[in-house]
Chain A
Amino acid sequence: MTAKMIRWAAAAVAAGIALTATVASAEEKAVEFPLLKPARQEWSFAGFFGHYDQAQLQRGYQVYKDVCSSCHSMKLVKFRNLADEGGPGFTEDAVKVLAATYAIEDGPNDAGEMFERPRLPSDAFPSPFPNDNAARAANGGALPPDLSLIAKARAVHRGFPWFVFDMFWPYQEQGPDYITALLTGYQDPPEGVEVPEGTYYNPHFINGVSLRMPPPLDNDVVEYSDGTPQTKEQYAKDVSAFLMWAAEPHLDARKELGLKVMLYLFVFAGILYFVKRQVWRGTAH
């Protein structure tokens, strides 16, 4: 009877999937954003053995520093993190020098006065604006979001049945895929599409047809010292990887530990299976 039940259930599930597959191909009635789903990119940190590509994180930091950081803050990341294991791999000395190029207000001192001092590795990345209102005022009323967690705070809906498959074959790189698509997705609006004043058409934007951020990247805007091609696409991928690291700095440690834990559990479960069989041997059940 169980076999019959399983067959019955399997038939129902298959029918459901077939039905929704037709749904996926059918045209959508309501407008759903983004207009275009992001393409899936290759990432060194995807998969079970994934880990960040140190050189890519360094390049990504460069793009962030030279381009993004003029409008976007990254309040949760500290300079010392650049030297953390599983990160861009800066030396501690380099971090000290880098941090000191930015000033921060500290105090009050013994005289009760606030003073400026160079940043220490323990200080956070500097924010481009003193507060959100200043940021809005400088950007046509739109607040450039903090980038500390952006790679985990954006994901385009996968919809049924994809999210079911994702459960069995993890897809946790939706954030960087989205960022890459957005940064390279600017284009002229198609005929008949009205774009509000001061915004830029981008079919990859998750929240509408256009956004306030002007196209931030172009070929050759950041100079790479390691010979990597200086293209818009390359910049987008590098900075996406960097933003993923900023959002999930312990990813390398997580995947490494995961492998050990899973291996241990599989072996342990195997042993327990034989223990159970031994215990139940001779006892019909």
Chain B
Amino acid sequence: MSGHSTYVPRTALGKWFEARLPVVRLLHDTAVSYPTPRNLNALWTFGGILAMMLVVQIVTGIVLAMHYAADSRIAFQSVESIMRDVNWGWLIRYLHANGASMFFIAVYIHIFRGLYYGSYKPPREILWILGVIIYLLMMAAAFMGYVLPWGQMSFWGATVITNFFTALPIVGQPIQTLLIGGFSVDNATLNRFFSLHYLLPFLIAGVVVLHVWALHVVGQNNPLGIDVKSEKDTVPFTPYATSKDVMWIVLFMIFYGWFVFYQPNFLGHPDNYIEANPLSTPAHIVPEWYFLPFYAILRAIDFNIGPIDSKLGGVLAMFGAIAVLAFLPWLDTSKVRSGRFRPIFKVAFWLFGVNALFLGYLGSVKTDDILFHVPGLDYQAVVWAKLSTFYYFAYFLVILPVLGYIEKPKPLPVSINDAILAKSAPSSAH
């Protein structure tokens, strides 16, 4: 797909530049002439939406950093002065805080789109793994960002999460001490988290460049999951993809604005409007919503497995839940990419989606809560969490590897163009 460049400099300035740094050619090939499958649906606009969100987060974040003070004695007050006294400070902060949530909503849709249409399969393994790295960096950035307002959930969330590292034998304790800059979460922690929170988005931007580069080498996947065969299967990126991307970006902004203007605190926790207090532990420490499924997996492992105690087991399961994504290209043995042509996969996939939401819910309740007061189903939440965690891993480690051998996929269309013609003229298809 990164075939012959069609860019021809027309102006004198364009020619002068072209001879010295062909950056206009690069942009032209990337965002104008780049051939994109003509059958992409709206789910393929989330890459663009994510790029927009990254820019929004960086811009609002830089402005916030101008007013924020990373000092545990005044951090909380400095955030409040942004909310109260800085011109448009409330808007910028609400955009940034809700922007993090929007970023995760978009990235989850983007990831699930990839899971359903098999976007991780050859030749897109590197593209997929770069995506997993971006996701990991996003999680680190979001976690550290949540610590900065120095509210109760900031402090206790940081305490709980950095404590995970102590589960590792030998190296655990030193890693934790290094991470928080002492023996408990304190000013040193806040300072290094602020520094890293400012750094990580630029690392993300760097990996995004690689992600897009890899995308432009292998080309976009599409809802049919079949390779582009000829020019008839594609349309140029501009104006086709751009007009669609921009429309969906604006629709996404409406969704974003809905939260920023009408329920800016819906996705946050009320305890974070209480200043951090190391002497008072909140009744119920919960992470931000986008970490809840992993939090549920962590808490599901409440038993020892041989030499691995429950704490280490939980931490390994939690990190394993993310790490397993990186191996997905080799775990899924089916040659067919798109879930459209895989009847059994389809069921397993949707179950996985519902299961992921359920895990999120389980992460938000106490482990001994009874979810269903129905005879026979009145188990504690942790029992459900174990079942859900089991399915989460079984999907990747059992179902996807086995399905490739036993599932009989439906016949694939010859080409994207053929499928479109058959769809637009159904009477001519037999």
Question: What is the distance, in angstroms, from A57's C-beta to the closest C-beta of chain B?
Answer: 16
A166 to B240, CA, bound (A): 37
- Chain A residues contacting B91 (CB-CB under 8 Å) are 254, 257
- Is the C-beta of A153 less than 8 angstroms from some C-beta in chain B? yes
A153 touches B350 (CB 8 A): no
CA distance A20 to B94 in the complex (A): 32
Asked if A265 and B273 make an inter-chain contact with CB atoms under 8 angstroms apart, the answer reads: no
A212 in contact (CB, < 8 A): no
Say yes or no: is A284 at the interface (Cβ < 8 Å to chain B): yes
Find out whether the CB atom of B374 lies under 8 angstroms from the CB atom of A19. Answer: yes
Does A209 sit at the interface, judged by CB under 8 A? no
Among A21-29, A97-105, A195-203, the one that faces the other chain is: A21-29
A268: B residues at CB distance < 8 A: 250
Given contacts A22-B373, A76-B80, A269 and B368 within 8 Å (CB-CB): no
What is the CB-to-nearest-CB distance from B55 to chain A, in angstroms, rounded to a whole number?
17
Q: Flag if B373 contacts A148 (CB, 8 Å).
A: no
* Nearest neighbor of A146 in chain B, beta-carbon distance: B275
**If A19-B374, A29-B370, A160-B361 touch, does A275 touch B270 (CB 8 Å cutoff)?**
no
Q: Which residue of A lies closest to B90 (CB)?
A: A250
Interface centre among B77, B274, B373, B424 (most CB of A within 10 A): B373
User: Cβ of A172 and Cβ of B266 under 8 Å apart?
Assistant: yes
Main secondary structure of the interface of B (DSSP, over half): helix
Q: Work out how many contacts link A and B, with CB atoms closer than 8 A.
A: 125
Is the pair B262, A273 in contact by a Cβ cutoff of 8 Å? no
- Chain A, range 249-270, C-beta contacts under 8 Å to B: 249-250, 253-255, 257-259, 261-262, 265-266, 268-269
Complex CA gap A8/B39 in Å reads 25
* A166–B265 touching, CB < 8 Å: no
Q: Which residue of B lies closest to A255 (CB)?
A: B261
- Closest residue of B by beta carbon distance from A23: B373
Q: Is the CB of B368 within 8 A of A30?
A: yes
Q: Which of B243, B262, B346, B371 contacts A272 (CB 8 A)?
A: B243
A259 to B257, CA, bound (A): 10
Residue pair B354, A12 in contact (C-beta under 8 Å): yes
| Complex contacts, A259 vs chain B, CB 8 Å | 261
Interface string of B373-396 (1 = CB under 8 A from A): 110000000000000000000000
> Which residues of chain A (206-259) have a CB below 8 Å from chain B?
207, 247, 249-250, 253-255, 257-259
Instruction: Say whether A23 contacts B266, CB under 8 Å.
Output: no
Known contacts A149-B80, A255-B261, A283 near B38 by CB under 8 Å: yes
Interface: A9 (CB within 8 A)? yes
With contacts A155-B270, A255-B262, A258-B257 taken as known, whether A265 is within 8 angstroms of B250 at the C-beta atoms is yes
Looking at the complex, which one of A9, A172, A265, A285 makes contact with B39 (CB distance below 8 Å)?
A285
One of A8, A30, A174, A261 near B257 (C-beta < 8 A): A261
Contacts of B263 in A (CB 8 A): 166-167, 170-172
Q: Please determine whether B254 and A152 come into contact, CB atoms closer than 8 angstroms.
A: no
Q: Which residue of B lies closest to A150 (CB)?
A: B273
B1 at the interface (CB under 8 A from A): no
Q: Assess A262 versus B254: contact at CB under 8 Å? Given A8-B350, A152-B270, A170-B263.
A: yes
The residue of chain B having its C-beta at the shortest distance from the C-beta of A12 within the complex is: B354
- For B371, the chain A residues whose CB sits under 8 A away are 20, 23
Residues of B within 8 A of A121 (CB): none
Which of chain B's residues have a CB closer than 8 A to the CB of A1? 340, 346
Specify the chain A residue showing the minimal Cβ separation from B253.
A265
Contacts of B420 in A (CB 8 A): 284-285
* Residue from B283, B346, B368, B421 within 8 A of A5 (CB atoms): B346
Contact A254 B90 (CB under 8 A): yes
B264 at the interface (CB under 8 A from A): yes
Q: How far is the CB of B114 from chain A (nearest CB, A)?
A: 18
Q: Is the CB of A167 within 8 A of B247?
A: no
CA separation between A258 and B90, bound complex, in Å? Answer: 13
| CB < 8 Å neighbour of B243 from A20, A170, A172, A276 | A276
Residue of A nearest to B250 (CB): A269
| B-contact 0/1 string along A1-44, CB 8 Å cutoff | 10001001100100000011011001101100000000000000
How many Å lie between the Cα of A144 and that of B240 in the bound state?
Answer: 61
Interface residues as binary, B262-300 with A (CB distance below 8 Å gives 1, 0 otherwise) = 111110001101100000000100000000000000000
Q: Is the beta-carbon distance between A22 and B374 smaller than 8 angstroms? A: yes
Whether the Cβ atoms of B80 and A148 lie closer than 8 Å is yes
Instruction: Give A154 to B270 CA distance when docked, in angstroms.
Output: 6
Query: B124 on the interface (CB 8 Å rule)?
Result: no
Centre residue among A8, A166, A175, A254 by max chain B CB count within 10 A: A254
* CB interface residues, B 327-346, toward A, < 8 Å: 340, 346
Interchain CA distance A154-B283 in the complex, whole Å: 13
Say yes or no for B239: interface residue by CB 8 A criterion. yes
Cα distance, A5 to B347, chains bound together (Å): 9
Q: Whole-angstrom distance between the alpha carbons of A113 and B250 in the complex?
A: 60
Nearest 6 pairs between A and B by C-beta?
A258-B261, A26-B373, A153-B273, A170-B263, A272-B247, A155-B270
The 16 listed contacts between A and B (C-beta, < 8 Å) are A1-B340, A1-B346, A19-B374, A22-B372, A23-B373, A27-B373, A29-B370, A152-B273, A170-B262, A175-B270, A266-B254, A269-B251, A272-B243, A273-B247, A279-B239, A283-B38
Given contacts A12-B354, A174-B270, 9 further A-B contacts (CB under 8 A): A22-B372, A22-B373, A23-B371, A76-B77, A81-B84, A153-B273, A172-B262, A268-B250, A269-B250
